[in-house]
Structure 1
Amino acid sequence: MARQASTLHQRGQKLYQKCDFKAAIEAFSEALNQKNGDTIGVLDNRAATYSKLEQLDQARRDAKQMIKLGKNNDERGYLRCAKVLLLEGKADKALEIYAYGLKMLPADHPRRSFLQQLHDKLYDKMFVNRRDPFTALPLEVAFEILKCFSFKQVVAILRVSKTWERFFTSMPNLWMNMDLSGARGKVPWTALRAYIRRSKARITHATIKNLATASISKSLEILSRCPQLEYLELGVTYDYREFYKKFQGCKRLKTLIVSADMLVTQEYFGKFINAFPHLERIALLNVKHSPRHVHDGKWPSSLPNLKSITLAGKTQQPPGQDHEYPIYIPSLSEDLEPHTYPNLEELRLNWNPPNLDPYFFTQLSRGGALPPLRRLSLTGVSIGESFYADLPTTIEYLYLEGGMYSNFGTDDTGKTLPNLHTLMLVDLKWLTSHTLNAFLVQAQAPVQTLHVTDCVHLTGQEFLHVMKNAAPDVKLTELSIFHMFNVDDTVARYLHTHLPDLKILNLSFTNITGCSIRMFADARASDSREGARLERLRVQGCEEVSSDAVAYGRERGLEIITR
């Protein structure tokens, strides 16, 4: 049997020399089926043959089998495996195989020195001519580079080497912005403590998410002792009263964002405002009514630092109590000077109760005016007749979604909105051609982004009528008429012809056909500058659009989204 195995082995070697690699593989494989042969030698030759055929996965499998058979006394498996890995472009893995072989072979092994030479040669090639960038570069330059990494990446880089760990730990400024939102798993409080220690408790920004439940209380206790904390975003479930007790001493806090995981009452909304005098932005995404109102005399008379308020409420009014809503904001509009919110730029109110319980934006009906807002977002909020008239002329972004039917009134005094560049109107039962005309024509607003979505009382033809009245003052670059009735190729052709600046268009759930896609695609490929040259077109739910038309558009560089 040994003689037969040897004969087959020799036959395979001769076939290899003749470059008949497939026949050589068959001979080596047959030799392995015989007993008492040089198994490691045959595997070595077969691995070399597989490498010639570029079947490197098979070659690597034979090499690993060689290592298994001769782990402590035969260097050939380590040599062959490393060679295959180098062919695969995995020099780092090859170096690990050499190091593993040196560890497993005895010191007096006759071929150990050869293995050591190959290891050292590869190591020199990989590392000797390289320098650690964080030690070669000036400290200021290295720090600027590190600031480009996310917090998650910085934590990962710590594990590269002990040298890098010491270097990173020696830079407290690198740890002043702690963001746990990218953590793969639940973060223990000990990790958070380590991050804070690296900042020498000088952390200024903290995004607290993905904490292990048992670690939440301890983590917040440690974080509350950081005197320079300015930005805090919480995405954990915790008692709002305990949170207030821990953090009321953080007087430097400028931004507080509390996710819907933590319920906060009206009363504590007021307490947060009072506790943090330098607050510029507050966002509470799950506010509920409480018997003690936020406007019980303890609300500050002036909040000059506050620039952004976001409140979201979904809990209904408890039975038997006065009609009050958790997203109520005291003194939002008033005649008195100075205004309570002289520098408020952004206001977002989101009302989403489990059952129908309408919230009316009535604070403008008291004869006052809103602060100099730049961004206003109302979701599920009904507005009154004076809404348009009372909008501040500083408004740049307006988002209105849902809310019960309102008698929307327009300003007969010729009021304009000269700064309004983004207008988003979603699921508004009161939106008609008359009210849209007020925003686009009467307001003389330089709108660039317009979304009119799911507004059932506005048809495609009525929309075109408004657009014709607004032309040429309106220079849209982004338009969405998602789910608008009677929008077809005729409407699309008008948009293409009369909105030459248009770059993004959403015609989802309309009656357009592939003709519209071809029209927009051909415009991109044409040298003519007439008509819109779209970059992105969304046609989700357009049943008359064929896959061929979509492929045609994409071939001409038009990004088409179908789902």
Structure 2
Amino acid sequence: MAHSMSPEELQELGRGYYKLKQYDKAVEAFAQAIDIAPTLSLFDHRAAAYDRLEKYDAAIRDGRSMIKADKQDVRGYLRTASVLEKMQKHDTALGIYKYGMKNVPVGDKNFKLLQQLHDKITRKLSPAKSVDPLTVLPVELAEMILEYLAFRNLVNCMRVSRGWRDYIAKLSRLWMHLDLSGARRPVPRSFINKAVRRSENRLTKATIHRFEHVDVLKNVAKACNGLRELEFITLPHTMSSTLIEIVQCAPSLKRFIVHPEITQDAATQLLQNRPDLEHVGFSSVKRLRTDADWRGPFPFLTSFSLTLVDTWSSRSLQIPALLGQAVNLQSLMLGNVFFGANDCSSVPLTTLVLRRVTFTNDTVPILPATLQKLGIEYAGSMELRGNEHTLLQSRLPVLTHLGLADINMLSADRFEQLLDTYIDAEDPGQIKTLENATPLQSISIRGILKERTDGLFKFAIGLFARSPRILTPSLQSLDIATMPCDDDEIEQLLNYKTGLINIDLSSTRITGASIKMLADHLPNLRTIKADNCPRISGRDAIDYARMKGISVSCSMDEGKGSRKIRYG
């Protein structure tokens, strides 16, 4: 052969010899071309010729040269591993496939072929009864399953094998939510750095717990421009002075939640420094000497949650000033607060939840007509009054979820006043009935009935029977735990056509007969809670409900120092 031939001509010559099955001459032609200008294709062609000559060691050397030349090209891994399999070196071939899956981009058109061959040899090497789901399931299905795992479980999966670790580490979308809520010990900074790299700096949500390195949090906020949600379950010990800095470093942040205790000043300053936040929550706020300063405005704030350490702190909270700065607020949740009669009447809220609240003069405040969800838990023991300055002044035509706790003197009249009647604004002396009001979908009552009561569901006069908005086909969830309910009440409830899916009857006087009646007459029912119901004496009713596809919770504390009996 003439050495004056170009590498391309030598390559074509070698391919011609290969087709004629003259493999020795093909090897010689490819070798001359490699001497002049080595390329990945030339090594591949020569390895194929060596393979035909059964010179496997030489073929493997060329295959490894291909991998060394370009680690992201799948051909080197496929060529080397296939020759190793012919030599019955399956473990070594499996290692080549795993190395290839680590280096070849997932988007490569031949990546799936690489993984299929990896899965095939894995099944061959696995014991007869051992099945690796990531090698048996289709790639798309395996990735879908991994996306449903909690972050802590995902990290545990990486410890199964090197193959699992490399595979999971390459899927950046599994690392979009850095969730440390399941951490049982301090999280090292190296773990956060790796997680951010695996997400390709595309974190959208971070939940921080047991992490002390504030500088790393700042860097994460700066590097991940798409970070929209930040939640702190615990705070680093040196966090108080840098919490605002971290929030300022995240330009796309929209949701910010802090569970540990912070000062009232810190809460107001966080809002003032990031007035573009949409969802803000503080679970434990402590008052300082000065009143809260809610300088705004906060035009983007749609959801706000704040719980004070104690009700004494709420005297400086200035709720009207806060609500006046958030004109687009839709959801408000407050805890341990004093609440005035007109604190929220002018705000177009759709959700209002007040936990351990104290009302001025023991009167329910005037509620906005836009409310869809209302929850009130009184701090102490409150009598629900029904004068014209409280219940009748609230007009709630679109209310669908209602929860009341620790309210004294509940009665059908009070429900009717709250849900069905209102004072005409144009004629204050006129009481009107709501027309076309939305039926309730969920109701939860934990209160004390009037001494003289007509029961819960007795037609037209029972606690829940007076208002036409309660016991309707729209009702899906009913919570009457601790209320005076027995089998007779359940029998009366079933006279109404409801769409109940969940019902909570804990700490009531029902027996197993109620569970059987509910299972027989409510086709949509999915869950029954009947914890601490002493009249339920066995498993028969629970097993009967389970056979109908209903989940029943029925545990009972037999007394101080004794074990808990769980029937379902």
What's 1:343 paired with? 328
What's 1:437 paired with? 416
What's 2:295 paired with? 299
CA distance in 2, matches of 1:478, 1:515: 20
What's 1:396 paired with? 372
Check the 8 A contact 2:256/2:281 in 1, yes or no.
Answer: yes
345 and 169 in structure 1: CA distance in 2 versus 1, 3 angstrom threshold: same
CA distance in 2, matches of 1:242, 1:325: 25
How far off its partner does 1:546 sit?
A: 2.5
What's 1:59 paired with? none
| 1:561 to 2:553 alignment | yes
How far off its partner does 1:234 sit?
A: 0.6
Q: 2:541 aligns with which of 544, 550, 555?
A: 550
CA distance in 2, matches of 1:517, 1:172: 48
CA distance in 2, matches of 1:332, 1:184: 37
Check the 8 A contact 1:265/1:290 in 2, yes or no.
Answer: yes
How far off its partner does 1:384 sit?
A: 4.7
Superposed counterparts of 1:312-391, under 5 Å: 312-315=307-310, 317=312, 324-326=315-317, 328-329=318-319, 331-333=321-323, 340-351=325-336, 359-362=337-340, 364-365=341-342, 369-384=345-360, 390-391=366-367
135 and 225 in structure 1: CA distance in 2 versus 1, 3 angstrom threshold: farther
How far off its partner does 1:330 sit?
A: 5.0
How far off its partner does 1:258 sit?
A: 0.7
Moved more, 267-276 or 189-198: 189-198
Check the 8 A contact 2:284/2:309 in 1, yes or no.
Answer: yes
CA distance in 2, matches of 1:555, 1:416: 42
| 1:422 to 2:401 alignment | yes
CA distance in 2, matches of 1:501, 1:121: 49
SS in 1 for 2:203: coil
Check the 8 A contact 2:367/2:394 in 1, yes or no.
Answer: no
| 1:455 to 2:457 alignment | no
Check the 8 A contact 2:218/2:245 in 1, yes or no.
Answer: no
How far off its partner does 1:272 sit?
A: 0.7
Superposed counterparts of 1:468-507, under 5 Å: 468-471=465-468, 474-475=471-472, 476-485=475-484, 487-507=485-505
CA distance in 1, matches of 2:450, 2:283: 31
SS in 2 for 1:469: coil
How far off its partner does 1:427 sit?
A: 1.6
What's 1:123 paired with? 125
SS in 2 for 1:365: coil
Q: Gaps spanning 5+ residues in structure 2: where?
A: 1-89, 95-120, 422-433, 556-568
SS in 2 for 1:369: coil
Q: Gaps spanning 5+ residues in structure 1: where?
A: 1-94, 100-118, 335-339, 352-358, 525-531
Moved more, 400-409 or 141-150: 141-150
SS in 1 for 2:439: coil
Superposed counterparts of 1:11-410, under 5 Å: 122-123=124-125, 147-159=147-159, 165=165, 168-170=168-170, 172-183=172-183, 185-211=185-211, 215-228=212-225, 229-238=227-236, 239-259=239-259, 262-295=260-293, 299-300=295-296, 302-315=297-310, 317=312, 324-326=315-317, 328-329=318-319, 331-333=321-323, 340-351=325-336, 359-362=337-340, 364-365=341-342, 369-384=345-360, 390-404=366-380, 405=382, 408-409=385-386
Can you list the C-alpha shifts for 1:434-453, whole angstroms capped at 9, x where unaligned? 32232344364411211111
Can you list the C-alpha shifts for 1:288-321, whole angstroms capped at 9, x where unaligned? 11223332xx611x32211111111124648xxx
TM-score calculated relative to the size of structure 2: 0.62
559 and 177 in structure 1: CA distance in 2 versus 1, 3 angstrom threshold: closer
Check the 8 A contact 1:269/1:294 in 2, yes or no.
Answer: no
- What value does the CA root-mean-square deviation take over the aligned residues? 4.0
How far off its partner does 1:256 sit?
A: 0.8
CA distance in 2, matches of 1:288, 1:540: 36
SS in 2 for 1:419: coil
SS in 1 for 2:285: strand
Q: Which amino acid aligns with 1:274?
A: Q
The number of residue pairs the alignment matches comes to 410
How far off its partner does 1:181 sit?
A: 1.7
CA distance in 2, matches of 1:463, 1:345: 32
472 and 399 in structure 1: CA distance in 2 versus 1, 3 angstrom threshold: closer
TM-score calculated relative to the size of structure 1: 0.62
Check the 8 A contact 1:384/1:406 in 2, yes or no.
Answer: no
Check the 8 A contact 2:299/2:327 in 1, yes or no.
Answer: yes
Percent identity of the aligned residues? 24
220 and 154 in structure 1: CA distance in 2 versus 1, 3 angstrom threshold: same
What's 1:536 paired with? 527
Q: Which amino acid aligns with 2:275?
A: P
CA distance in 2, matches of 1:519, 1:144: 40
133 and 410 in structure 1: CA distance in 2 versus 1, 3 angstrom threshold: farther
What's 1:103 paired with? none
CA distance in 2, matches of 1:489, 1:168: 53
Q: Which amino acid aligns with 2:339?
A: F
SS in 2 for 1:497: coil
How far off its partner does 1:429 sit?
A: 2.8
Structure number with the higher strand fraction is: 2
